[in-house]
Structure 1
Amino acid sequence: MSTRSSATPRASRLASVVLAAALAVALSACNQKSAAEQRAEAAQLRAKGDFRGALIVLKNALDAEPRSTDTRYQLAQVYLDLGDSTTAEKEARQALDRGYARGPALGALAAALVMEGQHQKALDETAGGPDDPGLSTARGDAYLALRRNDEARAAYEHVLGKRADDPAALVGLGRLAIVEGHADTAHGYADRVLARDPRNVDALMFKADLVRAGEHPEEALALYDRVLAVSPQHRTAHVEKAYLAIGLRKPQMAQAELDLAAKGAPGSLLVAYTQALLHYTTDKPDAARDVLYRVLKAVPDHMPSVLLAGAVDLKLGSNYQAEQHFRRYLERNPANVYARKMLAQALIGSGHGDEARTVLEPVLDARQADAEVLALAADANLKARRYDQAADLFARASALDGASATLRTGLGLARLGAGATDDAVRELQAATALDKRSPEAVEALVQANLRLGRRDAALDAALALEGAQPDRPLAHALKGQVLAAQGKADAARASFARALQLDPGYYRAAASLSQLALDANQPAQARQVLVDFLAKNKKSVAAMDGLATLAERTQDSAEVTRWLEQAAAVDPHAIGPGVDLCAHYLRTGRTDKALELARRLQVSHPENPDLLDLRGKAELAKGDLPAALESYKQLAQTLPRSAPALMQVAALRLVMNNTTQAEEDLKSVLAIQPDFPSAQLELAALYVRKGSHDLALMVAEHMQKQHPQGAAGYQLQGDILMAKHQPAPALAAFERASALHATNELAIKIDNALRQAGRAADADSRLAKWLAAHPDDVRVLAYRAQTWMGANDFKRAAVQLEDVLRRQPGNPVALNNLALCYQALGDTRAQATAEAALKVAPKRADVMDTLAWILVGKGDTARAVTLLREAQALAPKARDIRYHLAAALAASGDKAAARKELDGLLAGDMRFAQADEARKLMEKLKTGG
């Protein structure tokens, strides 16, 4: 009884739980809406402007009916409402693929592509689609964006022919009217839509755009607020309000609107772009670049983002990257003058003034050139030191904008460069007269007068600025600079101190005070000035860099590291301090730290050329040639017009013995910069290795034409002729090179050519004459010893080499050659000298070979074989080393291995010094000796 009674409550409780669960499931099933009902609910929410709510309901509908094309299409529409064009495109494609009506689905797809800026793609992918109003309107928008106005008009009018008051088509015609300069007509189209439907969001947005273009920002804001009253989640209205706020210099208002837009449409391309624009206008270029990197990764062809990315890179000083963005933009929009100006600015910044002028050429015509275009072209000529052309262009620009002190300043600098000093000073004085408060004009005038030695005039200009701006630090800093140049250190110090008093964060003044202390030979005081400045400006990277520079003067590496690490820590993502620290790590042999830092910084700066270069250098220092090659290939892709970057790639391919690709790279280098000397020399060397001596000579002749007063082309010609075994004409080329620029290398080459031509006496005489004029030329002294060794005069060579080693005790070549001389003379010092050479150069094959051959003579064949195998691995083509290995193996008793080495040796080129000995050894081994 007790058992039964204890079991019953548990059973009843379990039954209750099961019953409750079953009832919950049943009730849930009864209350579950169908997918069709959820789509209807989503449509109602969308009509009320609750796009996020509609999205949630549609996702539930998709869970209930995963293969529903209706749900996919509605999702595409809602994502378009939210500004998430990428996801809208995906949903529209899925609706199409699964059989939804082609007209509406293609219309959604076209609208998404237009939103992404892919206008031609929108037309291409929807060509031949059915007659659908939404599709026709979207195609009209694409035509309009591509400036194909007649086709846009036809598309909109086709829709209106079927639906006379279609709001989207009317708004499209309104936008077309704006493009064609008919603002009143555009207003008429907007008003026509709003008369029928005052809550039409598209018409309200268009009307707001119109009044904003008419410079009525407050009226535009009111219209955007009307949009938000109808559709609170309308992300474009928030974005447009943010645009207005950016233009009105109200960054806080702009950020608030963008936060609301992002909350309603977290994946919106437009929101992200506008956020980047806000960062750019509030001087946060790093943040802007991070946002744009994500935008362009998702939508590479969003042209507004491409243009903004160029402007951001330009502000960050990344001229090459900026150039690539502006070029991409101009490919799509060749008539955009702003992009053309920005491209020219980037080219000027990267030192390509000639190309900047070419870029500006289409807009330099007198009928259409504005002052800014002329000024940029002038600046390009100024950078290229074409001062007369620069002056002419600055003068034309000044004629268009006579009130610009900046243009008159440029004209003054151009006149100064052309040598017209009085005219230059007059122009700079005119610039300061136009704007007494212009720091650029006054500074240019002060610097010009200082350069001309007119220190009193420079002081007058600085004092005039001080009178106009007594509370600005620049005037006092300029006055201090002039006083310092006049030798009035105390007065200069007082001026710099006044500048710092006015602005405690004005680093220029602190740096000048520090320099004054250095000039007075007070390094401790120089350092203290910067330390005091840093105490008040704790995040001053410039001060930390200055302290690092002072530490470098005293070779205090630890102190340099400390300041550079502190500078880099101020902003771990900042490129400048990070690059400086990375370079310092490399200079001080901390390769792993350099590589780690470069890779970390690349996460936020993936295409920065300085980082790619430093990463490549670090990988080279670690001996990782394939990784270094990849880094420099990336660098060459990032800087496609940089000959030095591509030369790094070619040099690495040469080191890795990839001569075929290296040759192509070298040709590409010369296509970019035809007078790149190292590329010409390496290409000629490749031609010589291939036996294409005539091609190599063409390179040399080209160098001679480019630089008739340069020695390199004639020296190269001599090298090639020596490779062709033509010492007499080679000698003439070397002598021509030496007449232009005499070097010990040419002295050695002339000596060698004379000997090859059978003129040993002349060679001795010329070499003696060189050494009489250059008695301490160790290189030539060592070379003369080699010539005596070649003549078997080992005694005189040994004396010469001993003299060389007194001058350079650790010279491995001299030690090795002296060991050979001692060995030939039977001197017991041979092995010790060879051991010393190996200690200095443990990985040189020739040094290993010398010591091993001495060991063979002493009967230590085991160590000799070990050294010779290692030497052969380092220099597999050195036939004398292979012969020595065979001889050592034979001496050790391993005759089979010796014969194997000799078989391989005798099957190849037998033109080496000990070829006869090799043959004799083989005969001896064959006869069992």
Structure 2
Amino acid sequence: MMNFLLKKILFFLCIYLLASCGQDSKESLSKKEQVYIDRAAVYEKQGLHRSAIIELKKAIQINDLSLEAHYQLAQIYLSLQAGELAEEELLKVKAINPEKENLEFNLIKSYFYKKEYDRVYSEINRIRRSAIKNYDLDILLADTYFAEKKLEKARSIYLRYMQSSPNSSEPLVGYARVLLAEGEKAEAEKILEKILEIDQTNEDGLLLKAQLALLQDKYIEAEEMYYQLKLEDSSDFLTHKKIAVTQGLIRAKVALKKFDEAYGIYNEFLENHPNSTFALYQRSIDEFKSQDFSGAEGTLKKVLNAAPGHSPSVMMLGVVNYALGDFSEAEELLREHVTNNSSAGTKSFELLAFIHLKRDEPHEAKKLMQAALKLEEGKQRAEVYAIKSLAEVLSGNQGSAQKDIKKALSIGPENLSVQLMAGQMYFHMHHYKTAINHLNKVLASDAGNVVANKLFVQIYLKRKHYKQAEKHISQWLAGFPSASEVHYMKGIVELAKKDEVAAKASFKEAVSLEQKNISAASELVKILIKEESYAEAMSYLKTIIKQDINNIFALRSLLYAGSKSGEELAVAGFIESELEKSESLDGRLFISEYFYKDNKLDKAVKYASEAMVIAPDDFRAHMLMGQLRLASGDYISAEESYGKAVQLSPGSEEA
């Protein structure tokens, strides 16, 4: 009996001990979770964001439903302007406690950092229907207006709160940003003084003050301020402030001609943040400057994979594709940049104008430059006048061209782009001596400049100074042996000297160095067709067409080479398959005319119809359709097509 009682007591004792161990274990885990949360708060105060994030993630591993850990993590992501990560954590907070204080506002803030501005407006309007006006919401609304360059709307909100809350720094900071964006430097300086009177350590105020010093050409002052901000930044995370400070400090050092120090800061940043968007973007610029266009293209694609829609990278990729001669892709990217970025400025307009100049469409280029001048009314951008001068000279308006280039040079006499375009404009006017003066200024600072070097060679060729052209090519080649364009121009000089064997080798080298060098590939194709090497010519032509389906020379040459080698049907099929992948108007008009001449009216009508869908107001498409309907005996439809063509071009005798 005694043994039985002892066993029972031991049994209950074990159960009690196990239960108390479980309770101790739970309490221990809860304490551990709190230790991680508290440690994270300490790290966050020290600016050690990465360390704080690690501690909070440890707390969440212990308790996935930790409201405090998820909310603290969201707050850190908001302070780092990482909208997507912040939203993710805030949605977890909402699932745990939908009534958490400030949750709605923080979610809207995450949309702001994600640049989902329509969503910000929508959520603010929804909250306002059920609640009175809120200071934080209004400031966020003003910040959104500022981000979208709606400066007047932003200004009015900031001004209202500057009056009603004179000791609040947010409206003052916002208003100072507006003033700087509008170029009102003196007024901005007064506002920044007020901000720093309220709080001497206000980071936004100090950053704007450094920015203002740069704008005022006070480079020593700017350098000191940026350097101080860099020293005080203890963050172990890549913040927007860190990027702004790094960029500002580099600009100040460059302006003070402290190039080694500028490179030191730049290299230190790349070393510490090699895979950051900023670092990759900067690397693409370095690759572009060293004429490694394919490398720049690859780097920019990495940026856009990591940060889709990153506006500077979209534009830079357009620039790279332009340099590679892929004008269709360049145009698409630059138009995307202009459409999706209300603050795009004139740079994309300028490059789009260059594309039109390349296509011998100077009137379109001129229209773009007129739009650019209206876009930045009151601001004088030398490059816009310079490009307009090129459009004018190519339109036959030499007087207007000279007037525009003089204006451009008066605004930016040291601007290398303007000097380059001055060289181009005087080249087109056959004022070679003046052109050379401007091009020399460019090459003195940028020996590898492709356009300037090409123009020099072209001037020598125009004058039949072949030895000087060869000498220039040798110097260019010595400095940039891997630049595709130098081998292309070497081939052009060799062609001028009737040495087709040497030219063919140079063009092949140019294409092997840069597959997208369409100019070199086109010259190579001409030689191959002349030699009746049709299979090799067709290989290069297919590569060109894959890059630029609008290249009529390549389309025509491919069909010719195909017909000569008995593969006309196969190459026509290849062109059709490439057209299916694009919305090419010119390509469709070309292939429609080809099928018309080949008596394949059904296919001709198919592609003419597709062209009319792509460009309903294209005169050529309606004229071609009228011709096709006439050939098939459908006179009523033919009359309609020609009637539409007459509406589009009333002065056309042909229509």
TM-score (normalizing by structure 1): 0.50
| Deviation (angstroms), 1:52 | 1.3
Which residue matches 2:610?
665
Query: Does the 8 Å contact 1:296/1:302 carry over to 2?
Result: yes
| Deviation (angstroms), 1:73 | 3.9
Query: Does the 8 Å contact 2:521/2:540 carry over to 1?
Result: no
Of 382, 387, 402, the residue aligned with 1:376 is 387
Query: Does the 8 Å contact 2:405/2:422 carry over to 1?
Result: no
Deviations 1:85-135 (A, max 9, x none): 443454445545665567744544444544455444433344334766654
Which residue matches 1:353?
362
> Where do 1:791-802 residues align within 5 Å?
none
- Match for 1:348: what amino acid? L
| Deviation (angstroms), 1:665 | 1.3
Which residue matches 1:505?
475
Q: Matched residues in 1 for 2:88 and 2:166: separation?
A: 32
Q: Matched residues in 1 for 2:384 and 2:580: separation?
A: 35
> Where do 1:120-159 residues align within 5 Å?
120-129=118-127, 135-149=137-151, 151-153=153-155, 155-156=157-158
- Match for 1:239: what amino acid? I
| Deviation (angstroms), 1:227 | 2.8
Of 236, 241, 253, the residue aligned with 2:240 is 236
Of 633, 649, 653, the residue aligned with 2:580 is 633
- Please, what is the CA RMSD of the aligned residues? 5.7
Which residue matches 2:8?
none
Q: Matched residues in 2 for 1:38 and 1:565: separation?
A: 63
Query: Does the 8 Å contact 2:419/2:439 carry over to 1?
Result: no
Q: Matched residues in 2 for 1:478 and 1:574: separation?
A: 18
The answer to whether residue 638 in structure 2 is matched with residue 692 in structure 1 is no
| Deviation (angstroms), 1:215 | 2.1
The answer to whether residue 172 in structure 2 is matched with residue 225 in structure 1 is no
Of 66, 76, 79, the residue aligned with 2:77 is 79
Q: Matched residues in 1 for 2:508 and 2:27: separation?
A: 65
- Match for 2:178: what amino acid? L
Residues 213 and 34 of structure 1: CA distance in aligned 2, closer, same or farther (over 3 Å)? farther
Aligned-pair identity (%): 16
Which residue matches 2:59?
61
Query: Does the 8 Å contact 2:288/2:296 carry over to 1?
Result: yes
> Where do 1:103-252 residues align within 5 Å?
104-129=102-127, 135-149=137-151, 151-153=153-155, 155-156=157-158, 165-195=167-197, 197-233=199-235, 235-240=239-244, 241-242=246-247, 244-245=249-250, 248=254
- Match for 2:48: what amino acid? D
Q: Matched residues in 2 for 1:309 and 1:291: separation?
A: 9
* Structure 1 spans left out of the alignment, 5+ residues: 1-22, 417-423, 444-471, 486-491, 508-532, 714-929
Query: Does the 8 Å contact 1:309/1:322 carry over to 2?
Result: yes
- Match for 1:631: what amino acid? E
Q: Matched residues in 2 for 1:217 and 1:223: separation?
A: 10
- Match for 1:632: what amino acid? L
| Deviation (angstroms), 1:50 | 0.8
Which residue matches 1:419?
none
- Match for 2:628: what amino acid? A
Q: Matched residues in 1 for 2:26 and 2:270: separation?
A: 35
What secondary structure sits across from 1:589 in the alignment?
Answer: helix
Which residue matches 2:400?
392
Which residue matches 1:344?
353
Q: Matched residues in 1 for 2:606 and 2:97: separation?
A: 51
What secondary structure sits across from 1:38 in the alignment?
Answer: helix
Q: Matched residues in 2 for 1:398 and 1:357: separation?
A: 17
| Deviation (angstroms), 1:323 | 3.6
Deviations 1:520-568 (A, max 9, x none): xxxxxxxxxxxxx99x957777448867988xx9998xx9998766555
Deviations 1:583-616 (A, max 9, x none): 97996436997799789xx8xx8x89779x88x9
| Deviation (angstroms), 1:235 | 3.4
Q: Matched residues in 1 for 2:611 and 2:516: separation?
A: 35
What secondary structure sits across from 1:49 in the alignment?
Answer: coil
Deviations 1:609-667 (A, max 9, x none): 779x88x9799979498875452233436xxxx52356448979997967885452143
* Structure 2 spans left out of the alignment, 5+ residues: 1-20, 444-451
> Where do 1:886-905 residues align within 5 Å?
none
Q: Matched residues in 1 for 2:628 and 2:458: separation?
A: 54
| Deviation (angstroms), 1:53 | 1.0
- Match for 1:633: what amino acid? E
Which residue matches 2:535?
589
What secondary structure sits across from 1:128 in the alignment?
Answer: helix
Residues 496 and 411 of structure 1: CA distance in aligned 2, closer, same or farther (over 3 Å)? closer
Residues 481 and 50 of structure 1: CA distance in aligned 2, closer, same or farther (over 3 Å)? same
Query: Does the 8 Å contact 1:564/1:581 carry over to 2?
Result: yes
Q: Matched residues in 2 for 1:61 and 1:561: separation?
A: 67
Q: Matched residues in 2 for 1:190 and 1:227: separation?
A: 16
| Deviation (angstroms), 1:76 | 3.5
Residues 177 and 27 of structure 1: CA distance in aligned 2, closer, same or farther (over 3 Å)? same
Which residue matches 1:643?
586
Query: Does the 8 Å contact 2:608/2:624 carry over to 1?
Result: no
Deviations 1:259-311 (A, max 9, x none): 65567767755555555455556665544444444444565554444444444
Residues 28 and 180 of structure 1: CA distance in aligned 2, closer, same or farther (over 3 Å)? same
What secondary structure sits across from 2:368 in the alignment?
Answer: helix
Query: Does the 8 Å contact 2:294/2:514 carry over to 1?
Result: no
| Deviation (angstroms), 1:400 | 7.4
- Match for 1:505: what amino acid? Q
Which of the two has higher C-alpha Rg?
Answer: 1
What secondary structure sits across from 1:143 in the alignment?
Answer: helix
Q: Matched residues in 1 for 2:461 and 2:221: separation?
A: 52
Query: Does the 8 Å contact 2:549/2:587 carry over to 1?
Result: no
Q: Matched residues in 1 for 2:59 and 2:442: separation?
A: 70
Residues 106 and 357 of structure 1: CA distance in aligned 2, closer, same or farther (over 3 Å)? farther
TM-score (normalizing by structure 2): 0.68
- Match for 1:140: what amino acid? A
RCO higher in structure (CA 8 A, sep ≥6): 2
| Deviation (angstroms), 1:324 | 3.7
Of 666, 674, 681, the residue aligned with 2:619 is 674
